[in-house]
Structure 1
């Protein structure tokens, strides 16, 4: 066979991004770049969310609660001032209760407010200022008035310090107002930071979405240009070549591995084109040889006709006239002349047998080729009936397994069984009567048959020689025959799609194993009266070939 050179890159040249890069390398680079961009976008998103969360925490968890607690602290101080003023005006201890409640509320509000303003220096200073002013008012006014006895003493002390109390509590009010203003300003700043962070977050996520869409579009376009388009071009070229345009060149494009694939497909196309040219040439030669073969077969058919008619007629005349000569002139001929005449008659008869055997051998697969369903039980019965005389004279016993139905030519299968069984009877051991066993075993899609006898056997070195036409292992005086029988058996078995061989492991006699294809479904056996089964008259007496050494 002639080789084919590899196709080159004759398609459009790839761009700089794919000239020396394979698809795997391009995909790895694309995936790596995509992951890097996605990681950067993810980092920006996390930063925006973190900033939004910080601003939210500052507003929700610090700014607003601090302002609320500042208002509570102011209310607690006002409650204290109200209680002290009522007690100072009336002198009754019942009016001092708001003062006690205000002290408790002050402590609770201060305890909650201190952690919230711990990180803000100005808020911390405002709280200390409020507490300092409140402490001054409590030391100068609240505690002395509250400690004074009920009645005129408390009223007198409150009246005495009324102006000082007003001044000091106004300072408390001013301190709480300044604190609340500062806290409101801080909350407003936190709200503005939150709004800014949310706007920034929205911008970042919109940018992430846009970049992801852009990245997907770039990846799609890159795959389309780098992989899809070259593959579509390669597929179109391949379909065109497959459609019969073997002269159409397969172009190469895309990444390096796709170009190599296109080059391999181009090389395959060139190889196919070369092989097609060679096949066309070989087909022309085969057509000429087929014509010669048809002429040769026609000549062989003519020869077979001549052999079966024209050649046998002279042989019959030779034998007949020799026998007539022997009968009429027997008293005038000596013993040697009679012996010569006997040789001539015997030679003519053996020539007729040989011609008949050759005709039967040549007809296998040519004349008898009517495949049908054949019941081997009927074939074996017909064969044993044809061999009944030889079986009875030799005292042979034939046992067999149940035989199946197979697809084949009934006449040829009848010749197969007759040759094998007659060999088993003919090549028997003189010391014992023949014992013949026919076995049939299903082996997958085949039927495996075996014919075993207790005869003289075959040496392993002749296991193949006995299947060659005209190969005799004995003289015609010892065992008559033409040496064609087993060769015909092999031809029949192989024509039916099976194999045949001598089982060399069997020692006490001969064991011939052959196979026949098993039908997919065993159909019903044909009617024996339909003419599909062979009879003794249908089988040609082929004088089976020897199977003994």
Structure 2
């Protein structure tokens, strides 16, 4: 390789990205591991094959051959004893030996099915035993006791000759099987040695490959990333003039360049960001002040309307009592309109005052037993509940940290609505349920009234929104809006369960401890005294 070729090769490698380095490294590693795995699999398969042949064929074949020899010897012993004594009991070993012989021959036939030499030796044994049985054993075994001695003496020489052939065949078979077993054992030990060397080599190669991969990752990825992280931390610490030195693969160098470009861009944008943040802080403060002033305005407006409205209401009622019936019918109707309008305005202003007090006057968080609060609320609403013939039931309610006054207002509005918006001719049935969901408590107020259409499920929580005319159902349209404000003030949510169709079901959650509202307006003693006067 010339001097010009080497820099060109290095320049080509320097253009490789991390993905390409990883792809090449993984491909090479997988190829090496595949070769090692194939080699290891072949060694294991070969070892298993030799071991299986030794355990499943060679050793069982030798054992069965020994048992076959024992069975034949038992036959010869029984025949010889029967021929000498003529006692029938000596034929029992012969009969048993025949059964064992048949079983052992079948077993050896199966074991030596893939061994031509073994099958040839087994066939020699089978022929020798068959000739001995045909010429000697079977005739003597079938002879009667009074004639067996003469027959045994007559065939003694032939029996010895034929059984010597049997012995020789059995001995040759056993010797061959022992030699095969020894050879298989030697082959297994040799393959085990090869296996140990192969797997030791595989282990060493894997360790070397792992070390090579680790070193390549350290030099090509980890070290450049560590350097990039160190530079980034230095910049994040406030040294925006610290340069970033690109290193590593091409994509990491590009990343370093992009981060350095971002650093320079941050330096240019820092002054503008500081100015924008200052403007946002000013706007946030203005918005917070505006919200506080708007809430205070709602309170003051409703509070200041109390006195003139009281005069209007008082004088219209006085006019109605003094001149009622003295004027014409249209004048009486006008007076009734004025009295009714003044009364409804009085109710509306009082409701608006209650709405503005949520989070201002009523902001005393303490341990509240919701069951006791509900009982007090039911006592307050007892007249309306009794007139409507309503039945109110509830599950066991928990004790939470909340504002007791707001909790009373919440129950009063929800249960009051459930009783008020009832179906004509049907007694209201209201049930309050409570269950814990994680860290929150979920409450549901279910009734059998006229219900709420799903299209109005969100509208009912907007202040002054009414779904019915004042002639059909009384009220100012603030009740559910106040419930929503109370629930959200205590860290929960409230909604209409649109899946319930047999009435209305309002579901809301409350936190065990409401979030701290650091910026909530706090009512002064003057505010409290003025509101008490306004009542």
Per-residue deviation, residues 138-184 of structure 1 (Å, max 9, x unmatched): xxxxxxxxxxxxxxxxxxxxxxxxxxxxxxxxxxxxxxxxxxxxxxx
| CA drift at 1:497 | 2.8
**Which residue in 2 is equivalent to 1:349?**
343
Which is helix-richer, 1 or 2? 2
**Which residue in 1 is equivalent to 2:376?**
382
TM-score normalized with structure 2 length = 0.53
SS at match of 1:309: helix
Structure 1 position 479 matched with structure 2 position 473: yes
**Which residue in 2 is equivalent to 1:19?**
14
Q: Where in structure 2 are there 5+ consecutive unaligned residues? A: 1-9, 33-210, 515-530
CA distance in structure 2 between the partners assigned to 1:237 and 1:515 by the alignment: 48
SS at match of 2:304: coil
| CA drift at 1:314 | 0.4
**Which residue in 2 is equivalent to 1:453?**
447
TM-score normalized with structure 1 length = 0.52
Per-residue deviation, residues 427-446 of structure 1 (Å, max 9, x unmatched): 11221211111111222333
Structure 1 position 312 matched with structure 2 position 312: no
Per-residue deviation, residues 219-263 of structure 1 (Å, max 9, x unmatched): 999988766664443222111122133454433223323313323
Alignment of 1:77-92 (within 5 A): none
Instruction: Classify 1:323/1:242 alpha carbon distance in 2 versus 1 (closer, same or farther; 3 Å).
Output: same
| CA drift at 1:273 | 6.1
Alignment of 1:152-191 (within 5 A): none
SS at match of 1:448: strand
CA distance in structure 2 between the partners assigned to 1:229 and 1:250 by the alignment: 14
Kept in 2, the 8 Å contact 1:246–1:269? The answer is: yes
| CA drift at 1:342 | 2.3
Q: Where in structure 1 are there 5+ consecutive unaligned residues? A: 1-14, 37-216, 521-536, 542-549
Kept in 2, the 8 Å contact 1:240–1:248? The answer is: yes
Kept in 2, the 8 Å contact 1:455–1:509? The answer is: yes
Structure 1 position 257 matched with structure 2 position 236: no
CA distance in structure 2 between the partners assigned to 1:469 and 1:312 by the alignment: 20
Kept in 1, the 8 Å contact 2:400–2:512? The answer is: yes
**Which residue in 1 is equivalent to 2:139?**
none
Instruction: Classify 1:307/1:31 alpha carbon distance in 2 versus 1 (closer, same or farther; 3 Å).
Output: closer
Instruction: Classify 1:449/1:276 alpha carbon distance in 2 versus 1 (closer, same or farther; 3 Å).
Output: farther
CA distance in structure 1 between the partners assigned to 2:489 and 2:340 by the alignment: 34
Kept in 2, the 8 Å contact 1:428–1:454? The answer is: yes
SS at match of 1:380: helix
Per-residue deviation, residues 452-491 of structure 1 (Å, max 9, x unmatched): 1111222233222222222211111111111111122222
RMSD across aligned positions (CA): 4.0
Per-residue deviation, residues 190-217 of structure 1 (Å, max 9, x unmatched): xxxxxxxxxxxxxxxxxxxxxxxxxxx9
CA distance in structure 1 between the partners assigned to 2:224 and 2:263 by the alignment: 18
Per-residue deviation, residues 496-543 of structure 1 (Å, max 9, x unmatched): 3322222223222211222223569xxxxxxxxxxxxxxxx99x99xx
Q: Identify the range of structure 1 (362-371 vs 488-497) with the bigger mean alpha-carbon deviation.
A: 362-371
Structure 1 position 334 matched with structure 2 position 337: no
| CA drift at 1:301 | 5.1
Alignment of 1:98-109 (within 5 A): none
Alignment of 1:105-504 (within 5 A): 230-246=224-240, 248-266=242-260, 269=263, 279-297=273-291, 299-300=293-294, 302-330=296-324, 332-504=326-498
CA distance in structure 2 between the partners assigned to 1:424 and 1:295 by the alignment: 38
CA distance in structure 2 between the partners assigned to 1:470 and 1:445 by the alignment: 33
Kept in 2, the 8 Å contact 1:18–1:26? The answer is: no
CA distance in structure 1 between the partners assigned to 2:425 and 2:21 by the alignment: 87
Kept in 2, the 8 Å contact 1:30–1:219? The answer is: no
Per-residue deviation, residues 373-422 of structure 1 (Å, max 9, x unmatched): 33211221121121111112211111101011233333222221111100
SS at match of 1:361: helix
Alignment of 1:38-57 (within 5 A): none
Instruction: Classify 1:259/1:428 alpha carbon distance in 2 versus 1 (closer, same or farther; 3 Å).
Output: same
Kept in 2, the 8 Å contact 1:394–1:434? The answer is: yes
CA distance in structure 1 between the partners assigned to 2:503 and 2:290 by the alignment: 42
Kept in 1, the 8 Å contact 2:295–2:356? The answer is: no
Kept in 1, the 8 Å contact 2:484–2:493? The answer is: yes
Kept in 2, the 8 Å contact 1:398–1:437? The answer is: yes
Instruction: Classify 1:20/1:338 alpha carbon distance in 2 versus 1 (closer, same or farther; 3 Å).
Output: same
CA distance in structure 2 between the partners assigned to 1:383 and 1:276 by the alignment: 58
Kept in 2, the 8 Å contact 1:18–1:226? The answer is: no
